[in-house]
Amino acid sequence: MGGAQKRTIKNILQLSSEFLAEQGVESPRLDAEVLLADLLNTERIKLYVNFDYPLNQQELDAYRQRIRERARGKPVSYLTGRREFMSLELIVEEGVLIPRPETEELVEVVLDFCRSQNWEQPKIVDVGTGSGAILVSLLHYLPEARGVGIDISTLALEVARKNLERFELKNRAGLLEGDLLKPLLPEKEGQLDLIISNPPYIPESEISRLPRNVRQEPREALAAGADGLKIYRRLIPQACRLLRQGGMLALEIGHDQSQRVKEILNQTDGSDSSDCWQDIKLRRDGGGRERIILALKGSEDDGD
């Protein structure tokens, strides 16, 4: 009886939470619950309903392994293989960036913009698509849209493909392997309605100071040169060439990068003119930080 009692969900969660806390995990109780609910293929709330349920030896061994890996810093999403994003349960795998809540705010802003345009079949490109979180979300909530996801990582494209299939979106989406927007140049110049990206934007010197679990994500999806702006300098001129007049570029940026990214936009000379972008707007995230930058491509006669 005593041994069975120690195996109950209540006791196992308590012990696991304490262990994770001792190992410096930021949200020990939540992580312990998420990992156990996933292992038992149930909802977190049902753990509380079944506090006295005893784990069998196989379940106990599997759970202990997960807790050990979490204690070593492996992200919860890599352990469960899933991540909720925009109310959609996406597949994630080790080696691919885990979608963030901040990026949901980028998607929400872009959805509002697209709906206000009354476009019949907007053409969308997601640069650095990773798991496909942005692309999948936009196509899911914009039924008329067509999209392309681009990534330099073969693994990322495989995961994105799984997510497109998961939500039955393959007939409206394509995936291309390549460096930023190069796979679309020059054939698609002036043809796109929306280019969106959550690119790497962390300076190399700051990577070592990131939380342990974040450092386990692919470095190439996080770091972007000495100042974190390397990708913006290359992506923005390419976007200017590919967007049609009135099309929009939407970017996630670091919390302290808004003015420097604005300067890059204002310097863009994508079509032999110095006024590629007609309108540049900043949006703050839920924490009040400037996290999103939007830029409309102007027409040739917009002037200064």
For residue range 55-64, list pLDDT tens digits in order: 999 999 999 9
| Average pLDDT estimate for 103-115 | 94
Least confident of 147-151, 209-213, 287-291: 209-213
Rounded CA-CA distance 150/176 in Å is: 5
Cα-Cα-Cα-Cα dihedral sign, residues 240, 179, 290, 83:
positive
Q: Which of 80, 71, 73, 82 is nearest to 16 (CA)?
A: 71
Residues 218, 131 contacting (CB under 8 angstroms): no
Instruction: Report which of 242, 240, 238, 236 is spatially closest to residue 264, judged by C-alpha positions.
Output: 236
Angstrom distance (rounded) from CA 164 to CA 168: 6
CATH of domain 2-72: 1.10.8
Model pLDDT, residue 269: 53
Query: Counting runs of H as helices and runs of E as strands, what totals does the chain give?
Result: 12, 9
pLDDT of residue 210: 77
Residue 226 is predicted with a pLDDT of 79
| Strand-strand pairing, 146-151 and 173-177 | parallel
In terms of average pLDDT, the best of 78-92, 215-229, 250-264 is 78-92
Residue 89, pLDDT above cutoff 90: yes
What confidence score (pLDDT) does residue 304 get?
46
Distances (CA, A) of 208 to 74, 78, 94, 100, 109: 16, 20, 19, 19, 31
Residues 259-264, mean pLDDT to the nearest whole number? 91
Assign 126 to helix, strand or coil.
strand
Q: Is the pLDDT of residue 274 over 60?
A: no
> How far apart are alpha carbons 216 and 124 in whole angstroms?
30
- What distance in Å separates the CA atoms of residue 224 and residue 261, rounded to the nearest whole number? 13
- Fold designation for 83-297: Rossmann fold (3.40.50)
Query: Which among 76, 123, 71, 131 has a CA at the least distance from the CA of 99?
Result: 131
pLDDT of residue 268: 58
**For residue 302, what pLDDT band results from cuts at 50, 70 and 90?**
low
Burial group, residue 189, by CB count within 10 angstroms (0-12, 13-18, 19+):
middle
Q: Which helix (H) or strand (E) holds 90?
A: strand 88-91
> With 90 as the cut, is the pLDDT of residue 273 above it?
no
Residue 1 has pLDDT above 60, yes or no: no
**Which one is predicted more confidently, 77 or 286?**
77
Torsion of CA 103, 109, 115, 118, to 10 degrees: -110
- Six token digits for residue 38: 């996933």
pLDDT in tens, 123-171: 999 999 999 999 999 999 999 999 999 999 999 999 999 999 999 999 9
Domain spans of the chain? 2-72, 83-297
Neighbouring C-beta atoms of residue 58, cutoff 10 Å: 8
* 295 sits in which H/E element: strand 290-297
Mean pLDDT computed over every residue of the chain: 90
Q: Which residues of 87-118 are buried (b: 16+ CB within 10 A; e: fewer)?
A: ebebbbeeebbbbeebbbbbbebbeebbeeee
Task: Give me 77's structure tokens.
Answer: 């999403």
Q: How far is 24 from 31, CA to CA, in rounded Å?
A: 12
